[in-house]
Structure 1
Amino acid sequence: MSFISVFAKEDFITVVSDGLVVNLNTGEEVERNYKKFRKISENQFVAFGGNKGVAEMITEEIGFADYELNLLDIASSLRERLLRELAPEKANISLAVGGIQNGKIIFYSFTNNPNQEMLTHVPKGNVLEYVFLHGEQAQLGLTHQTQLLAERYGHRSPTKTKKIQKELNDFVAKKDKTVNRVTFDLTIKK
């Protein structure tokens, strides 16, 4: 498993991932410092959790563009490929595609579960829009934990949201042996 969080406000978006890659068959640690997201243009990204090899294969077709990509087209294409090539019984994959498009912050999140819709996230006003790429967020109480940390630190700047995200990562790492406390982060500002 992995833990990736994407937090967005109207004027910025932040991504934080843990760095651990584990062989899910053996539980053996494969890599400790693996960044689970990458930029696909100057102000856009793709983030992925789950099976590393499959996630890399699915996202490799997206290189780095020196122009703004259509994020909905990218997300839809990746989701279609996931659903076509990877049954949920074989492996679980979660993805987020986002950044700035047409001057606005937006991101999409989805999995390879055909019963789950792709979600569109558009931050509005003072509301913090967020998603976790982790299979057990409900059991871990991540929504409640996020609310507590947002009240403690606020969420009006990328520095504050990344502080929340890194504390959430540590919270998950204490409960899930497939997540470590090594983190990588990305900030995109309008």
Structure 2
Amino acid sequence: MHTAAPQLTMGKVSVTLAPITMTHAEGPMPDGTKGQVWGAMHSAPTAIPGGLSGTAAGEHVRQLRLAIKPEYGGRSDFYTGTLSLRFRVLSPLLSRGCTIGAGAPVDFQLKRSGPSEWLSQDPPLIKFSAYDDTFAAPAAENCGPLTAPLNRRLGLPASSGNLMSYDATYTFRTYDQLPTA
């Protein structure tokens, strides 16, 4: 299991995302190949400063609020640093299906920023940092009549200038430490 609070710059948006927690298993298979099993991902919405208009203020602040929530995009490979995410876009004025990466998720190819650091041996707790500054950010889709203004507000699609800094900690148990059923 690992937890991170990534910093994300995507188009015109720069935020520190609410903590993301992922569970997965990885390790050698009986034949010596590497194996992985995806578990789950949990996160909460992160408010976008300035809201839907970019300058939300006054009596309409509640209606103009805007947030994004990362969701698992269907691909992960923690051996290579590959991770796909979708970003649900949330606002009272947008359709419920409004998503960045709805048709094809945002694909990250995370590169380590330095070596991992053991914070504790018992329980095992390891800290690592990674980043991707090469990913393309697609336009938001399925947002209803505000799709075009929303994409202008967010600066999407954005083929360059994007960055995800991923500082995380993780812990693990080996299979021989798991309780028997």
TM-score (norm 1): 0.30
From the two aligned structures, give the one with the greater helix fraction: 1
TM-score (norm 2): 0.31
Structure number with higher relative contact order (C-alpha < 8 Å, ≥ 6 residues apart): 1
